[in-house]
Amino acid sequence: MISIVLNGEPRQVREGSIADLVASLGLDVKKVAVERNRDIVARSTLADVMLVDGDALEIVHFVGGGC
Amino acid sequence: MTDQWSVAGRSFTSRLIVGTGKYQDFEQNAAAVAASGAEIVTVAVRRVNVTDPNAPMLTDYIDPKKITYLPNTAGCFNADDAIRTLRLAREAGGWDLVKLEVLGEAKTLYPNMRETLEATEVLAKEGFLPMVYCVDDPIAAKQLEDAGAVAVMPLGAPIGSGLGIQNRVTIRLIVEGASVPVLVDAGVGTASDAAVAMELGCDGVLMNTAIAEAKDPIRMARAMRLAVEGGRDAYLAGRMGQRRYADPSSPLAGLI
């Protein structure tokens, strides 16, 4: 297990790719976007980018919002 | 008689853009969007709920293939946060047309124009097509245009206030000076406010609370559609001149 910060919360996760993590969270990879250590991770590369201890991830999606 | 408008090369028939916040539920939201006739909706970008990944999502109710999602940076108070948010939005949605909004303070939700200009420049360089929320200042509007804004969106009154168009003179000045579309963003409270914005020559109106917080949001959405169409037609028709005193409409000759 490694320690990361996911959406602002510390979390222990299995080693693997970002795509593995997204799937293990039960999220549809086509509906989210991921930022790793303040850099965008292209959706096409989510399966190739391996999580590293200490990574800070933001996983976001579209929600209702106005002006 | 089609009357389209276009922003950054994309054409739309509806001149009403609606938000997707503050609704009771997704069903009501989707019904209001349908009643409004809007072809563009604003959406926010937020962290996913990692504890409840099966919670219903906006995209299940409003199809991004049929309705253009306009990602919005509402809630961002500096250029950096707004830029990060839109980079994520581009990755999530795959499109470049975005709405930039960098707020200055919570009380008025007025834009911070220094940060807004800076963010506009960065976004334009990165290939984004930013539609930009701004103050009702014709000079600031030109500066945004020069910085790469594909539309300028001055407020008519503070966001969520429903006070109506409080600044007709400056909105008209912006419309006259702009070479990109001008949309009133924020301030509309009821249908006549939307008509006023359109009568001033704006290309469109963006609203959320006026519909979402109406007693009957779906009916208000319809009212807004009609008001925007009516206001646009009135603008194109060219209103009569104003007189200080009465002028009879019936002939004076032939009176008994």
Whether the pLDDT of residue A67 is over 80: the answer is no
pLDDT in tens, B148-183: 999 999 999 999 999 999 999 999 999 999 999 999
Q: B55 at the A interface (CB within 8 A)? A: no
Judged by CB atoms closer than 8 Å, whether chains meet at A64 and B207 is answered as: no
The DSSP annotation for B39-51 comes to SEEEEEEEE--TT
Chain B residue numbers touching A43 (CB-CB < 8 A):
91
Task: Please tell me the distance from the alpha carbon of residue B30 to that of residue A21, in angstroms, as a whole number.
Answer: 31
Given this model, what pLDDT does residue B57 score?
84
Residues in chain A: 67
B116-134 per-position pLDDT tens digit: 999 999 999 999 999 999 9
Question: Quick check: A35 contacting B, CB < 8 Å?
Answer: yes
Joined together, the tokens standing for residue B166 give 């409080």
From the list A7, A26, A43, which residue is nearest B47 (CB)? A7
Name the residue of chain B whose CA is nearest to A58's CA.
B47
**Whose CA is closest to B149, among B176, B121, B170?**
B121
Identity of the amino acid at B247: D
- Give the torsion through C-alpha atoms of B18, B100, A60, B127, to 10 deg: 120
Helices and strands, counts by H and E, chain B: 8, 10
CA distance B120 to B153: 13
pLDDT tier for residue B60 given thresholds of 50, 70 and 90? confident
| The pLDDT of residue B53 | 74
Return the residue matching tokens 């002006």: A67
pLDDT at residue B39 in the model: 97
Q: What is the pLDDT of residue B1?
A: 61
Whole-number Å distance between alpha carbons of B157 and B159: 6
Q: How much is the pTM?
A: 0.91
Q: Which residues of chain A from 7 to 26 reach within 8 Å of chain B, CB to CB?
A: 7-8, 25-26
Contacts of B69 in chain A (CB under 8 A): 62
